[in-house]
Amino acid sequence: MKDTFFDFTPETLEPWCTARGMPRFVGSQLIRWVYERGVTDPLQMTDIAKRNQECIASEMEFEQSVMMVSQLATDGTRKILLGWPKESSNTLPLLEPPTRRTECVMIPSEDRRTACVSSQVGCPVGCRFCASGIGGLEGNLTAGRIIEQVHRLRLEPSVGRISHVVFMGMGEPLANLGAVRDAIRTLNAPWGFGISARRITVSTVGLPAAIRQFCEFELPVTLALSLHAPNDELRRQIIPWAQYSTIDELLDACDEWFQRTGRELTFEYILLGGFNDRPQHAEELAVLARRMRANVNLIRYNEVEGLPFGRPSSDDVHRFQEVLRERGVNSHIRASRGRDIAAACGQLRHRSLSGVTGLNVVPTIDPSPSA
């Protein structure tokens, strides 16, 4: 069984090299080739001795995932479907595609390239409006597999350097906290992707104990709370895990986050047409946001086939924001990016090509559900 590159740091890669009779500096060479240049074929790493190239190629795996589908939305958003082996192996059998699949997204703007990554295969939370939890949780992603998503996205056409990362893909990041922290360290490290910690956001549905544990993290990342309702009764109707903790308990943990890190919190709030988008809901939300001095990101619901919610009207969305601003709350309406390829917030799911038509779709292996 091969070792996997993205699970290594310089401190662990150098002894790996010396244990195989290579100089310590080969570890630094590998780091530069992969993170600076995006090269993952040891035989193309021209400043590494031939015998060392061959040793690395035989004992190290660089890309565990199989690129199954790549889609480009009309607004420039790029979504890729990656297949993962259940266990790390020396080869991925292309005739038997891996059954564990995740989606990740690159969202472009004038001055940034944001990678939206998954932390789990599926999701254990099962929010009633979200596609990612359909089918439940299949497993956690390792730190290396989280990092590999960013690597894969930056190699897509017209993407280039990733400037921001949001843990808002499939899964609940704080339910896989160890791997998420390790991945963030590599994303932030000068030898890794060199992404500022302040440009990395971790979004959670709210686990008070995990939030308090996350307070110990040494890097000043941004924490976003997926609130989605201004009171417990409404929240429990759409978020099953809301039965385990009240909003007050969540905000107490978030207050500890702010006191210990000095980092302001963001509330993520999906507006579901006719459900949680009334002016009285905005008034309740304003009280919570002012208590925390939190920013509020308002997100129009992005439809998911088979789920019972609808997209709110533009008038209702703007009225909701107006109520918040009248009460002194800093709020923004987030644009829905990639809706035509189901890449927008709440739409990520391990989809195959089934039903995809009229889009820029690039399949790389047969992704049929029977695989």
| Cα gap 270→274, rounded to integer Å | 12
Rounded to whole angstroms, how far apart are CA atoms 253 and 230? Answer: 17
Handedness of CA 13, 18, 22, 28 (dihedral sign): positive
| Nearest partner of 78 among 359, 333, 298, judged by Cα | 359
Distances (CA, A) of 228 to 161, 238, 315, 327: 32, 8, 19, 19
Over its C-alpha atoms, the chain yields an Rg (Å, rounded) of 21
Rounded to whole angstroms, the Cα distance separating 34 from 128 reads 40
Q: Give the integer Cα–Cα distance in Å for 40 and 88.
A: 17
Residue 301 near residue 271, CB atoms below 8 Å: yes
- Write the burial class of residue 369 (CB in 10 Å: 0-12 exposed, 13-18 middle, 19+ buried): exposed
Residue 55 is a catalytic residue: no
Q: Which of 14, 61, 103, 148 is catalytic?
A: 103
| CA-angle at 346, arms to 298 and 265, nearest 5° | 45
Residue 172 a catalytic site member: no
Q: Is the alpha carbon torsion for 220, 226, 227, 233 positive or negative?
A: negative
Bridge-based pairing of strands 295-300 and 266-271 is: parallel
List Cα–Cα distances, 359 to 15, 56, 109, in angstroms.
Answer: 47, 39, 20
Report the interhelical angle of 247-261 vs 279-292 (nearest 10°): 40
Cα 10 to Cα 7, 217, 262, 313, distances in angstroms: 10, 20, 30, 51
Q: How far apart are the first and last CA of the chain?
A: 23
- Tokens 């891996």 found at: 98
Query: Active-site positions?
Result: 103, 345
